[in-house]
Structure 1
Amino acid sequence: MKTDPPDPRLHALVEGIVRIAGGDLSTRIPHSGARDDVAAVIAGINLMADDLQTIYQELEKRVESRTAMLREAQVELERMALRDPLTQLANRTALNSVLSHALAETSRGEMPPALLILDLDSFKGINDTLGHSAGDDVLRVVASRLQDAVRETDTVARLGGDEFAVMLPKSNLVRARRVANRILKALGESLEIGDLRVTCGTSIGVRIAEAGQSADELVMEADTAMYAAKAQPHSSIKVFEPALLYARRLQSVMITEMREAIRQDQLTLHYQPVVELATGRIEGVEALVRWCHPERGLLMPDQFIPLAEETGMIVDLGHWVLRNAVRQLRDWQQALNVDSSFNVRVNISTTELRNLELIEHVRDILRETGVDAANLVVELTESMAVNGGNVDKYSLTGLRRLGVKLEIDDFGTGYSSISYLRKLPVNVVKIDKSLIDGLGTDDEQGNFVGAVLHLIHACGLKAVAEGIETAEQARILTALGCASGQGYYFSRPVPAAEIESMLRLAE
C-alpha cells in the first residue's frame, strides 16, 4: 500500500513552536498559502507570537520605566539622608563622610582639613520671643550666609538646632581664621525676618586636623573650642588647644557633682537683709545660694550658676532655692516675732520663668508651708520683664494672681523706659549698684538717682537701692525719698542663724 510523504509544514510547525516556547518571540512559521487545517494552525501560532511579542515589548518598557523611577527614588533618598531638610545643607552624616575622606587624604600626606563649629549666640531668645517659624527663617538665612562666606569646595553642615559646621579641605590656621572672621562679619549683620530685623551673632570653635585623628575626635575638639568661645565676650573665635579638653572634662565632672549637690542638700542659703532706710528695721531678706562643695569648699554663685543655666539644671536649682527660702521664712515666722510684712526675696532665671511648671511649683510651696504669697518676692532682671514672650507673660501674670510680689532687679542697666515701667506687672524696682556707687562723691549722680526714684514712684512702684556701702549713701538715698535698701553697709549675705540673731536683737 502506497503512503503519502510527510507534510514538510509539520516539521516547520514543530520547530517554530519549540523556538517560540524557548523565548524567541520573533520566530514566525512560514506558510504555503494552502487553506487546510495545518495552514490554519500555522496562522494561529504566528498570530499568538505577534501578540506575545507586543506584550513582551510593552512589559520591557514598563520595567525600564519603573527601574528608572526606582533609581531616581533611591538617589533622592540618599540625598535626603545626607541633607538637613530645613536648610538643605549637609547634615551630620554627610559631614562625617567628607571629614573621613579628608582625614584619609591627610594620612597620605595631603594638607589637613580645618573644621569650624559655630553656635548662634541669640537664637534661643529669638525662637522664644518670635516663635519657631521665625526661628526656622533665621536658620535658613544663616545657612545662606554661611554658604556665601566659603568656597564651593568647602562643606557647610547643620548639626542640629542652631549649631553649624564648616569643613575646609586642605587648609591651615591662617585660612581657617580668615573664614571664621568672614563668618562673624556675615552673621553679625542684622537679618531680615519678615517685617523684623534681628541680630544673631555666633561663637566659633576652630580645629585644624592632625594625622591619625578620627572624624569624631575632630568634631569633639572643634566643639570644645566652640564652647570655650561662648564663654568669651559676644561673638568670638577660639582655636582648640589641649588645655580646653581638661577644662571641659572638669566641667563634666562639675555637672555631675552639681546634680548630686541638689539631691544631697550640699547647697545652702545665705541671706542679705533689706532694711528700711529711715529706721534701720529689717523688712526682709534676699536669699542667695551657696554650694558647700565637699572638696573645694564654699562656692559662690558665679562659680556654678552659669553652668547650671547652660545645662538646664537651673530649673532644679531654682526649685531648691525657692522651696528652702520659703521654708526658712516659715520657721522665722513661727519662732520669732517678725512683722507680718517681713518677706523673702528669691531670684529666678529666664529659664525658670519660661518653665510652665513655675506657677504650680510656687503654689505647692506656699500651700505646703502655709506662707502668705505676699511675703514672697520674686526678683527678675529688667531685660527678662521687658523682652519676655508669651510664656514669660503667662508666668508673671500667674505669679501676680497668686499674690506673689514681683521685683525688677538691676534697674538702670537695661531699658529703663518710662513706657515699659508703667506696663510691667511688678511691685518693686531695685536700683542697681552702679547707680549708687557715685553717691556722696558726685553731685550729678545724686540728681540722676533722684530722677530715677521720681520715675519709679510716678509709676506707683516701690524702690529698693542695692549696693549701699557707706552711711553717706544711705543718708542721701533717704533724703531722696528711697524707702528701702541693702548692701554691705548693713550686712553682707550671712547664714540663716545670723539673720535670726539680728531679728532677735530687734525684738
Structure 2
Amino acid sequence: MRSPEQTRIEELERSVERERQGRLAAEAIAEQGVRELYDKQQQLRLLEAVADAANQSSTVEAALQAGVRTVCEYTDWQIGHAFLPDATGRRLRPTSIWYGVEEGRFGEFYESTGDFGFAVGHGLPGRVLASATAAWVTDLTVDTTFTRAEQARFAGLRSAVAFPVLVGSEVTAVLEFFSDQVLEPDETLLRLLAKIGAQLGRVAERERARDRLLHDALHDPLTGLPNRALFSDRLAHAVTRTERDARTSFAVLFLDLDRFKLFNDSLGHPVGDAVIIEVARRWAACLRAGDTLARLGGDEFTVLLDGIVDVNDAVRAAVRMMDALADPIVVDGQDLFASASIGIATSSTGGESTDDILRQADLAMYRAKVLGKGRYEIYDPVMHEHAVGRFSLESRMRQALQEEEFVVHYQPIVSLHDGAMVGVEALVRWQKSPTELVYPDDFIPVAEETGLIVFLGMWVLREACETMVRWHQQFPQEPPLTVAVNVSARQFAQFDFAEQVGRVLAETGIRPETVKLEITESVSMTNTEHTKEVLTQLERLGVFVSIDDFGTGYSSLAYLHSFPMDTLKIDRSFVAQLDRGDTGRQIIATIMNLARDLGIRVIAEGTETSQHVEELKSLGCDFAQGYFFSRPVESAAVTSLLELRGDRPQELEAPPVPTGTVAAAVAAAAVVAVAAAVAPDGEPDALPV
C-alpha cells in the first residue's frame, strides 16, 4: 500500500506534468500564431511589392518583369519567366522577361525555352492558358507532359508552377517559376499567386483603357479610320521628310461625297452612316498598306499618299477610288448610288505647312464639284483666287436675297406639231445692277454648296406660280400654259419638300396640273426609294414631273417605268449632235422609242437651228425649246407675246429676233417681229420672244 505521502507526491507530479504540457501547447499555439502572422506579413509584403512595382511600371511588360523578380525573391524559386499570347489568343510565345537565368547552369534551359511556343493545353503554360488557373508540377523528371524535361534535368530543376494573369476571364500572360527542389503543391502559395495574377491583370486592364482612350482620340468612331488629328500628325511627318530630302514626295487627296446630304435628309442618319461605312471600306481597299485614309467628319475624307513618284500616282489612286463607287451601295434592300469629288495637292504645289496642303486639296475638290462632280482636279494657284471670289460671292448673294435682286426669266416651250407655245421654263437670274445680269452658272454652284439654293429655289417656284396665275387670268385657254421649274438636289432632299410645294400651290391659287417640276436624272437615281416616294406625293398634289438633262446620267428603264413622271427633257448635248450626222439622230431616236413605250412626252432642249427643228419633227419629238424660238426673257416680253397672239395658233418656221437683255423695248420688238413674221396665209413663221 502506498503511503499518503507517496499519493500526494504522485498527484503533485501529475499536476506539474499537466502544467508543463499546457505550457508547451500554449507555446506551440503561440509559435504557430507568430509563424502564421509572419507568413501573412510576408504575403502582404509580397503583394505590396508587386503592387508597387506594377504601379511604377509604364508598360505591362515592365510590370510583368517586376512581378517575376519579386515572386522569385520571395519564394526562393530560382527561375521565373513570362509568356504572352499571340494575336489569336490561342498560343503563347516566349518573351525576354526572365529572372535568375544569369547563372550559367540555366543557360541551355533559357535558350531552349525561346524555341517553344505553346498552344492551348500544350505543356505547362498551355494548360494554364486552357484552364485560366494555376498548375503545379511536383517533379519535372517524372512528369511526361513537361516538354522541356531534358533541359530542366540538365539544369537541375525539379519543380515548377505557373499561373495566369487575368483581365476578367481572359488570359493576358502566363508566368512560370522553377525550383531545384522537389516541392509538393502549396495551396497557400497558389492562392497568393492567384492574387498576384489579378494585380498584374489590373495593370494590363489599365494599359488597355489607356490605349483605347488614345485610339479613340485619334480615330473616327464610326469608321475606325484615322481622324483629323492623326492625319495632320502623319502629314506633318511627311512634310518634314520632304524638307530633309527633296527626292521624297507625297500627295494629299481631299474627297467629298456628292449629294450625301440627300441620304441623311431623305432616309435618316442611320442610312447615311451605313453609306459612310461602306464607302470607307471600299476606299481602304484601293490603297497601299502605307497610305493613310482618314475621315475628317461628315462626308469628308482625306488620303495621304507617301513616297509617290509624281502626281500621276495620285491620279491613279483617285481614279481607283472613284471606280470603287460604281456599284450601288445596298442599305436595307435599297440601291443607293454614290459618287465623290476629289481634289489633289502634292508636296510640289508650294504648300509650306500641313494646313496649306490640306487647303490646296480642298480647293481642288471644290473645283471638281463646280465642274460637275464625280471627278478629280489637281490644285493650281488660280484656285485660291477663285476661292476668295467664292466667299465674296456667297456674302453678296445673301444680301441679294434680302434685297430681292433675283429675277425670273422665261423660255418658251413650243409644240413641234402645230408651233404653239404650250408653256415656259422659269430660269432664275441675278440682276446685280441695272446693267449687269448674272447667269446661273456663276452663282448656282455656290448656292448649292451653302444651302441658299433651298430658299432661292422655293422663291423661284412661288414667283413663277404667281406670274403664271396672272397669265391664266389674262389669257385663258385650254389646255392652259404650263410653267416648268428646276428643283435642285438639296431642295429635293428636304424631308418636307412635297409639303412646301403644296403650300406654294395653295397660297398662289395656281392650277396644279400647270406646274412641272424638273429634276435631273442623277438626282432621281441617287436614292430611288426616296425619289419614288416624293414623286408620288407630288402626283397626289396634281403636279407633273419632268426628268431634266435626260441621257447624261445612269437611269434604269425599270426605275423610270416605276416613277410617276410626265416628261423627259433630252439634254442639249444630244440635240447639238444632230448637226454631226447619224450619231445624234440615233441617240434621240432611241430616247423617243423609250419615251413612247413608257407613255411619256419628250422636250428637246437646246434647239437652235431650223435643221434641229426639222430633224426633231421627223423623229416625232413632241416639244422643243431653245434659241431658235427664243432666249429666256422677262415676264413682260411673254405678256406682250400673249397679248399679240390672241387666240391664233403660233407656228414656228423662222429664226427669232434676238432678245438680248430684256427691257421694255424687247416687248415692243416682239410685237413688231411677230407681225413681220406672219405668212401670207395669216400664220406667223416664228415665235419671236
Q: Which TM bucket (shorter chain)?
A: 0.7 to 0.9
- Partners in 1 of 2:485 and 2:235 — Cα distance? 49
- Aligned equivalent of 2:533, options 354, 372, 394: 394
Q: Is 1:179 paired with 2:304?
A: no
Distance 2:518 2:411 in 1: 14
Distance 1:296 1:254, change over 3 A: farther
2:213 corresponding residue in structure 1: 77
CA distance 1:308–1:296, change in 2 (3 Å) = farther
Task: After TM superposition, give the deviation of residue 323 of structure 1 in Å.
Answer: 1.6
Q: 2:255 aligns with which of 106, 119, 140?
A: 119
Aligned residue number for residue 407 of structure 1: 546
Query: Is 1:67–2:203 an aligned residue pair?
Result: yes
Match of 1:21 in 2: none
Partner of 2:193: none
For the residue of structure 2 that corresponds to 1:284, the secondary structure is: strand
The amino acid across from 1:145 in the alignment is C
CA contact (8 A) 2:489 2:523 kept: yes
SS in 2 for 1:331: helix
Greater relative contact order (Cα < 8 A, sep 6+): 1
Give yes or no for contact 1:428–1:462 (8 Å, CA) kept in 2.
yes
Task: Report sequence identity in percent.
Answer: 34
Counterpart AA for 1:67? V
User: Which residue of structure 2 lines up, in the alignment, with residue 8 of structure 1?
Assistant: none
Match of 2:407 in 1: 268
Q: Which moved more, 1:51-60 or 1:424-433?
A: 51-60
Deviations 1:274-304 (A, max 9, x none): 2334444332211001112359921111112
Aligned to 2:43: 54
Structure 2 portions without partners, runs of 5+? 1-21, 52-195, 647-689
CA contact (8 A) 2:416 2:621 kept: yes
> Distance between the aligned counterparts of 2:598 and 2:631, measured in 1?
30
Cα distance change of structure 1 residues 402 and 216 upon mapping to structure 2, 3 Å threshold:
same
Q: Is the 8 A contact 2:525 2:555 kept in 1?
A: no
Question: Structure 1 residue 359: deviation in Å?
Answer: 0.3
- Distance in 2 separating the partners of 1:357 and 1:373: 18
Once the two structures are superposed, the pairs formed by residues 449-460 of structure 1 within 5 Å of their partners are: 452-453=591-592, 455-460=594-599
Query: Is residue 305–residue 314 contact of structure 1 (8 Å, CA) maintained in 2?
Result: yes
Q: d(CA) in 2 for partners of 1:468 and 1:247?
A: 33
1:484 correspondence with 2:623? yes
* 8 Å Cα contact 1:377/1:406 also seen in 2: yes
1:228 aligns with one of 340, 350, 367: 367
Aligned to 2:294, which of 144, 157, 171? 157
The verdict on how the C-alpha distance between 1:232 and 1:268 changes in structure 2, with shifts beyond 3 A counting, is closer
Separation (CA, whole Å) in 2 of partners of 1:386 and 1:211: 40
Once the two structures are superposed, residues 456-490 of structure 1 have per-residue CA deviations (whole angstroms, 9 ceiling, x without a partner) of 34432333333333456445645654443322232
Q: Deviations over 1:222-258 (max 9, x none)?
A: 322333355557543514x433222112112222222
> Following TM superposition, by how much is the alpha carbon of 1:272 offset from its aligned partner in structure 2, in angstroms?
0.8
Contact 1:348 1:380 in 2 (8 A): yes
Indicate conservation of the 8 Å contact 2:365/2:376, yes or no. Answer: no
Q: Residue 402 and residue 158 in structure 1: after superposition, are their counterparts in 2 closer, same or farther (change >3 A)?
A: same
Q: Distance in 2 between matches of 1:502 and 1:226?
A: 45
SS in 1 for 2:631: coil
Secondary structure at 1:306's aligned position in 2? helix
Residue type of the alignment partner of 2:347: I
C-alpha distance in 2 between matches for 1:252 and 1:319 = 23
> Matched residues in 1 for 2:349 and 2:631: separation?
52
Pair 1:90 & 2:212 matched: no
SS where residue 288 of structure 2 aligns? helix
For the pair 1:242 / 2:381, whether they are aligned, the reply is: yes
Query: Which structure 2 residues correspond to residues 305-454 of structure 1 after superposition, within 5 A?
Result: 305-337=444-476, 339=478, 341-386=480-525, 388-414=527-553, 421-437=560-576, 452-453=591-592
- Give the Cα–Cα distance (whole angstroms) in 2 for the partners of residues 248 and 274 of structure 1: 37
Kindly report the root-mean-square deviation, in angstroms, between the aligned alpha carbons of the 2 structures. Answer: 4.0
Task: Give the corresponding residue for 1:142.
Answer: 283
Output the CA distance in 1 between the equivalents of 2:413 and 2:603: 8
Paired residues in the alignment total 467
1:476–1:182 distance in 2 versus 1, CA, 3 Å: closer
CA distance in 1, matches of 2:234, 2:509: 62
- Residues in 1 aligned to 2:367 and 2:309: alpha-carbon distance in whole angstroms: 20
Length-normalised TM-score, structure 1: 0.77
- The alpha-carbon deviation at position 346 of structure 1 amounts to 0.4
Equivalent in the alignment of 1:203: 342
Distance in 2 of aligned mates of 1:69 and 1:446: 72
SS in 2 for 1:146: coil
Structure 1 pair 246–75 and aligned structure 2 pair: CA distance change class (3 A): same
8 Å Cα contact 1:285/1:345 also seen in 2: yes
> Cα distance, 1:310 vs. partner?
3.3
Change (3 A) 1:381 1:123: closer
Aligned partner of residue 285 in structure 2, secondary structure: helix
Question: What is the CA deviation profile of residues 407-447 of structure 1, one whole-angstrom value per residue up to 9, with x for unaligned ones?
Answer: 22234445677655543311223334444446699689668
- Counterpart amino acid of 1:251? R
Shift of 1:188: 4.9
**1: CA distance between counterparts of 2:600 and 2:377?**
43
Q: Distance in 2 between matches of 1:483 and 1:43?
A: 111
> 1:498 deviation in Å?
0.9
TM-score (norm 2): 0.59
Look up the match of 1:259. Answer: 398
Q: Distance in 2 between matches of 1:96 and 1:135?
A: 21
Q: Structure 1 residues 418 and 51 mapped into 2: Cα distance closer, same or farther (>3 Å)?
A: closer
> In the alignment, is residue 501 of structure 1 matched against residue 637 of structure 2?
no
8 Å Cα contact 2:570-2:604 kept in structure 1: yes
Conserved in 1, the CA contact under 8 Å of 2:256 and 2:365?
Answer: no
Matched residue type, 2:453: I
Does structure 2 conserve the Cα–Cα contact (< 8 Å) formed by 1:119 and 1:202?
yes
Aligned counterparts of 1:127 and 1:80: Cα–Cα separation in 2: 26
Secondary structure of the 2:409 match is strand
Match of 2:652 in 1: none
Look up the SS of the partner of 2:309 in the other structure. Answer: helix
* Pairwise CA distance, 1:449: 5.1
> Secondary structure in 1 aligned to 2:220?
coil
Q: Could you tell me how far 1:348 is from its partner in structure 2?
A: 1.2
Write the distance in 1 (CA, Å) between the matches of 2:338 and 2:512. Answer: 39
CA 212–298 in structure 1, closer or farther in 2 if over 3 Å, else same = closer
Q: What does residue 4 of structure 2 align with?
A: none
Q: Secondary structure at the match of 2:287?
A: helix
Structure 1: gaps of 5 or more residues: 1-32
Q: Aligned ranges for residues 211-226 of structure 1 at < 5 Å? A: 213-226=352-365
Paired residue type of 2:229? T
Letter in 2 for 1:409: D
Name the CA distance, whole Å, in 2 between partners of 1:317 and 1:457. Answer: 35
Could you tell me whether the CA contact under 8 Å between 1:277 and 1:482 is conserved in 2?
yes
Structure (1 or 2) with the larger CA radius of gyration: 2
Question: What is the CA distance between 1:402 and its match in structure 2?
Answer: 0.7
| 1:180 Cα deviation after fit | 0.7
Deviation readout 1:148-171 (Å, 9 max, x if unpaired): 4xxx3x5443323453334456x6
Contact 2:261 2:490 in 1 (8 A): no
